[in-house]
Amino acid sequence: MKRMLAMLMVPACLSVQAQKKITVYTTASQTDLRLSQNAQLSFKEFKQPLETQPCVFIDPANTFQSFIGIGAALTDASAETFAKLPKPEQQEFLRAYFDKDKGIGYTLARTTIHSCDFSSGSYTYVSDNDTALKSFSVAHDEQYRIPFIKQAIQAAGGKLTTYVSPWSPPAWMKDNNSLLQGGKLRPEARQQWANYFVKFIKTYEAKGIPIWGLSVQNEPMAKQRWESCIFSAEEERDFIKQYLGPTLQKAGMSSKKLIAWDHNRDLLYQRASVILNDKEAAKYVWGIGFHWYETWTGGPMQFDNLRLVNQAFPGKNLIFTEGCKEKFHIDSVNNWSLGEKYGYSMINDFNNGTVAWTDWNILLDETGGPNHVGNFCFAPVHADTKTGKLIYTNAYYYIGHFSKFIRPGARRIGASSSRAQLQTTAFANTDGSIVVVVMNTTDQKLPYHLWLKGNGAATESLPHSISTIVIK
């Protein structure tokens, strides 16, 4: 009888939380931990924390945006590099990225509409001045890219949410008569260019690659020495509402997710406001895409611009469409800062409303290419094509702390840290599990409590580490 009374006296919140299984997975500098299970925690009653007791607070009662997925760009460079790998390493690569149990479970992909800088050369899918697009053919992509994407889809379990982006219209559609160095789409070519999108999507889908969405133009404010094209905010708005949007609709593609901007966070709000304040353009736009390269000015990433767009246009979505560490050097593949940049961006992007996150090249070779203009960059995984071996940077593991555990359909929930040194975000998966990511970029070991509904689980964050805590 006394035992029964004692059980009845246990607070209900504690009895429920105490039964929770809490598993910690960690990647940490100066250790062998790489997405390694390194702790099991348990909740104990912990009502009101003191200011001297560091905490990460989790609040599943408040939910925010739905989560679509995490992935990367399957470029020509990635496909060509993949083709040079021996078969066992190809299979290792596919498992490492797309298997949610043995790898990090990518569910999202981006690819290019004809060439970009991460192609071995410039090309398009039509003959010059073919305004009717009768010569349209993706034969170029059938050698490397299409087989690569198909293998990725298979490795991801038969479904890979894929969207497409152009770097430039064909040269003859532009006022500078070049794929490179910016230039603008000729007014008389706008309908032909809109038709080109439809042709590409239909052709890829006929070859077994379903297309979920598309962006209007990669980096529309960047004049580059590689494939590029300039659209002002007004030009992009008018192209969407007068040409691309109606053309997609007429082709039966109104369900395709149309992404505007697809450039850095710095001008994000200005671009979003011009396009989304126009009802005729906004009705075609699913969301706003963004990159992280605004740091070229020497300043930090501008997450407040995401927050403002999210607040001003709550019916639209934010999607991270590209980011990588530039200026590749093989001696830097082990730099810990590579992964920390990803973790910092992902935590803050998600906390400011981002629904999907796309890395740049999924795979590059030992030179940071191939790239036809020498713009060599880092990828989370590099292939040494001389030895046939894969090189995993810590960026692969940092991304995996999100992609492996936060699954499509999850909802972001409240997550708050009482210490700036502990950066955090959290999601509730559709299976009821809660995923909390905690990152520490300091040189210090930081003890803290994971706090949930009046209960706390004592743990610690290692120096220069990222941990995923799964509560089931």
Residue 454 has a CB neighbour count (10 Å cut-off) of: 14
- Pairwise CA distance, residues 104 & 339, whole Å: 15
The H or E element containing residue 97 is helix 87-98
- Pairwise CA distance, residues 252 & 190, whole Å: 19
Residue 64 has a CB neighbour count (10 Å cut-off) of: 16
Which residue among 80, 235, 236, 322 is the active-site one?
A: 322
Asked if the bond preceding 370 is cis, omega within 30° of 0, the reply is yes
- Pairwise CA distance, residues 412 & 85, whole Å: 38
Which residue among 219, 227, 235, 236 is the active-site one?
A: 219
- Pairwise CA distance, residues 57 & 425, whole Å: 10
Residue 270's Cα: distance from chain center in Å? 22
Pairing of strands 446-452, 55-66: parallel
322 annotated active-site: yes
- Pairwise CA distance, residues 472 & 383, whole Å: 37
51 annotated active-site: no
The H or E element containing residue 191 is helix 190-206
Q: Would you report the helix, strand and coil content of the chain in percent, each value rounded to 5?
A: 30, 30, 40
Residues identified as active-site: 219, 322
